[in-house]
Amino acid sequence: MADPNLLPACAKPLSFREADERKGISVILAFLSLFFLFLSPAQAAEAQLRTILAKLADAKGFPAVEAVVRELGATGDPAVSGPLEALSAGDLYFAKADKSIAILRDGAILDPLSGAKTREGATSAFTKIRVNNGLRGAIRDVLGSLTLSAPDPAVRLSAVATIFNRPDPEAIPALDAVLAKETDATVKARMEEARAAAVLASDLPEDQKRAAIETLGARGDRAALTLLSNYAQSAQGSLRDAAASAADRIRTVLAGWDVAQNVWFGLSLGSVLLLAAIGLAITFGVMGVINMAHGEMVMLGAYTTFAVQEAIRASAPGLFDWSLAIALPAAFLVAGAVGFAMERGIIRFLYGRPLETLLATWGVSLILQQAVRVIFGPNNREVGNPTWMSGSFEIGQMAITWNRLWIVLFAGAVFLGLLYVMKRTPWGLQMRAVTQNRRMAASMGIRTPWVDAFTFALGSGIAGIAGVALSQIGNVSPNLGQSYIIDSFMVVVFGGVGNLWGTLVGALSLGVLNKFLEPYAGAVLGKIIVLVLIILFIQKRPRGLFALKGRAVEA
């Protein structure tokens, strides 16, 4: 594509409708294009690519398509990355009438090589070229070797990763060539590792392989471990020992990272438990209401997130990444309002009668579930992840997913915020006064019924904002609340009723314990063991980890 002026000349013979309209000109242009074919190597290469691309329309079955993909890759022309990426994404089509290849994206018909909008027409006149996972893998392989010298370091990085995963001695010269020019330190290190992987698979002399073992040993991740331990099985003599000892060193380091990873998983599960339980720590822990509808408050928060996202999708799609921030106050208000109504309408008549409260709130939970089922339907609702909550990053040999990290931070923020409200504001003081000694508080001029109502609303509202966070990691369905209610009570009881710090420590320690048991005992048995341990613990310390002391206990 040396000269943009030449493009139409070459593109013309492929777009038939216009060629029909201006037959005379097109004949001349066709001649011209032929003429340029012989003149310019770039044009010749493009014409060759188009010839190969055209075969896609006739390729029957995935192996045939893969052969064409390999053929495209064999040209070594970086221009094939456009159509190949489109094929991988399922955007490559061919016209039913003339079998010309085109990219269909957002309703527009694009030229496969230039990406320019070349023609009009209905997208229904095209047939999709089907892809499967094997084909996507082949495309990635092909692109990997082609994009090694791409200008974007990120593209080079992914190209190198592909080569690393499929070590091929034939890639060594290509890697040597790009290594000499590489300026980015990270990419260079990865390239050297990819080269080392290829060297191990080659028949190069021993000293080169020894260096390769060292490079891989320094990389120190699981992929390097696999390469080294596989190599150690097939190699002989001192090379085998070197590979085996490098593999052992990696194993030791990885074992340490495994522990760190488990701790992180535990903290992350703990933060989810904390979010689910912290509202209950107010309604059950501080007020003493056995609130079986707590899970449904979480559910209402999640459905509010769904409603907010729907509204954003319909009216302001650009705000989508902010949807969670907008949903937070909305969820707090919705769940808080329902909690307020519940306290005023039902619970206030039942103070001091735990059994009736339990039954009444359980009834409310069923009513709320069925109401949501009637309004939103029984199916799961789609709550999307904003971009900043997707994907993961790595610290050492441990992958941390963004959504989990944000939830850990969010749980911490909610906890601190609540602690502040309880300990540092007049409202918090009144709350604690009323729950500790109602009559004394009343005689000091505190309007106890309103404090009760607002405390319950606060606990419910907090459950609501927990729902916003939990909608990011689980389903949003009418049953959402049920899956959290048992865990919530478990955390509050274990941590010590009426103590926010107890809830924090309880949630985190249960999370970590669970995640340390899971790899050995499995998820099912792990959960059972945790429950058994809690039962034993409660036998020993009926008031939980952090029991309230003094007169507060009697109230």
Partner 1 sequence: MHRISKSLTALALAAGLSFGSAYGALAQEDTIKIGILHSLSGTMAISETTLKDAMLMLIDEQNKKGGVLGKKLEAVVVDPASDWPLFAEKARELISKDKVAAVFGCWTSVSRKSVLPVFEELDNILFYPVQYEGEESQRNVFYTGAAPNQQAIPAVDYLMSEDGGEVKRWVLEGTDYVYPQTTNKILQAYLESRGVAKEDIMVNYTPFGFSDWQTEVAAIKKFGSAGKKTAVVSTVNGDANVPFYKELANQGIKAEDIPVVAFSVGEEELAGIDTAPLVGHLTAWNYFQSVDTPENAAFIDGWKKFIKNDKRVTNDPMEAHYIGFNMWVKAVEKAGTTEPDKVIDGIVGVSVPNLSGGFSTMMPNHHITKPVMIGEIQADGQMETVWQTPGLVVGDEWSDYLADSKDLIADWRAPMSCGNFNVKTGKCGGKTTN
151 DSSP assignment: S
111 binds partner 1 (CB under 8 A): no
Residue 195 or 381: the one with the smaller Cβ distance to partner 1 is 381
Give yes or no for a contact between 291 and 284, defined as CB atoms under 8 angstroms apart. yes
State the nearest-atom distance from the C-beta of 401 to partner 1, in Å: 4
| Site for partner 1 contains 283 (CB under 8 A) | no
Cα–Cα nearest to 492, from 503, 482, 504, 481: 503
Q: Who contacts 175 (Cβ-Cβ below 8 Å, separation ≥6)?
A: 148, 163, 191, 194, 195, 198
Find the part of the chain contacting partner 1 (CB under 8 A) among 134-142, 190-198, 490-498, 543-551: 134-142
Is 158 a residue that touches partner 1 (CB under 8 A)?
no
Among 78, 121, 378, 417, binds partner 1 (CB under 8 A): 378
Q: Which of 8, 13, 220, 474 binds partner 1 (CB under 8 A)?
A: 474
x/- binding map, residues 403-432, to partner 1, per CB under 8 A?
Answer: xx----------------------------
Among 101, 414, 515, 530, binds partner 1 (CB under 8 A): 515
Single-letter residue type at 24: G
Q: Quick one: which of 40, 385, 437, 448 contacts partner 1 (CB under 8 A)? A: 385
> Within 13 Å, how many C-alpha atoms sit on residue 5's CB side?
2
**Which tokens is 535 given?**
């039962």
Q: Which of residues 82-101 bind partner 1 (CB under 8 A)?
A: 90
* Helices and strands (DSSP H and E) totals, the chain: 22, 6
> Which residues on neighbouring strands pair with residue 128, listed in sequence order?
93
CB of 288 to partner 1, least distance (A): 29
Q: Which of 41, 519, 531, 552 binds partner 1 (CB under 8 A)?
A: 519
What's the CA gap between 123 and 120, in Å, rounded?
9
Question: How far is it, in rounded angstroms, from Cα 358 to Cα 380?
Answer: 28
Among 70, 96, 99, 222, interactor with partner 1 by CB under 8 A = 222
DSSP state of 391: S
φ, ψ for residue 351 (rounded to 5)?
A: -60, 140
Query: Is 132 among the residues that bind partner 1 (CB under 8 A)?
Result: yes
Structure tokens at 406: 């944000």
Site for partner 1 contains 114 (CB under 8 A): no
Query: Rounded to the nearest whole angstrom, what is the least distance from the CB of residue 33 to partner 1 in the complex?
Result: 37
Least CB distance from residue 554 to partner 1, whole Å? 38
| Distance in Å, CB of 262 to partner 1, minimum | 8
Q: Which of 523, 532, 552, 553 forms a contact with partner 1 (CB under 8 A)?
A: 523
212 in contact with partner 1 (CB under 8 A): no
Give the nearest distance from C-beta 269 to partner 1 in angstroms.
5
- Select from 58, 184, 206, 382 the one that contacts partner 1 (CB under 8 A): 382
Q: Which ranges of 166-221 does DSSP label H, i.e. alpha helix?
A: 172-181, 185-201, 206-219
Q: Binding residue for partner 1 (CB under 8 A) from 41, 63, 76, 121? A: 63
Number of residues that bind partner 1 (CB under 8 A): 55
| Residue 477 binds partner 1 (CB under 8 A) | yes
Closest distance of CB 166 from partner 1, Å:
10
User: Which residue, among 77, 73, 50, 53, has the nearest Cα to 141 in the 3D structure?
Assistant: 73
Q: Which stretch binds partner 1 (CB under 8 A): 75-83, 201-209, 386-394, 447-455?
A: 386-394
Three-class HEC string of 317-385: HHHHHHHHHHHHHHHHHHHHHHHHHHHHHCHHHHCCCHHHHHHHHHHHHHHHHHHHHHHHCCCCECCCC
Amino acid at 524: V
d(CA 401, CA 546): 32
Written as six digits, the tokens of 223 are 């992929």
Q: How far apart are CA 275 and CA 467, in angstroms?
A: 8
Q: Do residues 327 and 304 touch, judged by C-beta distance below 8 A?
A: yes
Pattern of binders to partner 1 over 263-282, x per CB under 8 A? --x--xx--x----------
**Is 320 in contact with 386 (CB distance < 8 Å)?**
yes
Tell me the C-alpha distance between 170 and 349, whole Å: 81
In the shown chain, the binding pattern of residues 387 to 406 toward partner 1, with x for contact by CB under 8 A and - for none, equals: ---xxx------x-xxxx--
Cβ of residue 67: shortest distance to partner 1, in angstroms?
13
Binder among 122, 314, 524, 536 for partner 1 (CB under 8 A)? 524
- Residue recorded with tokens 């904390």: 274
Q: Per this entry, what is the length of the chain? A: 555
Q: Are strands 101-105 and 392-395 parallel, antiparallel or unpaired?
A: unpaired
Could you say whether residue 527 binds partner 1 (CB under 8 A)? yes
> How far apart are CB 433 and partner 1 at their closest, in Å?
38
Q: Given candidates 57, 157, 223, 446, which one binds partner 1 under the rule CB under 8 A?
A: 223
User: What is the binding site for partner 1 (CB under 8 A)?
Assistant: 62-63, 90, 130, 132-134, 136-137, 140, 222-223, 225-227, 230, 261-262, 265, 268-269, 272, 370, 373, 378-385, 390-392, 399, 401-404, 473-479, 483, 515, 518-519, 522-524, 527
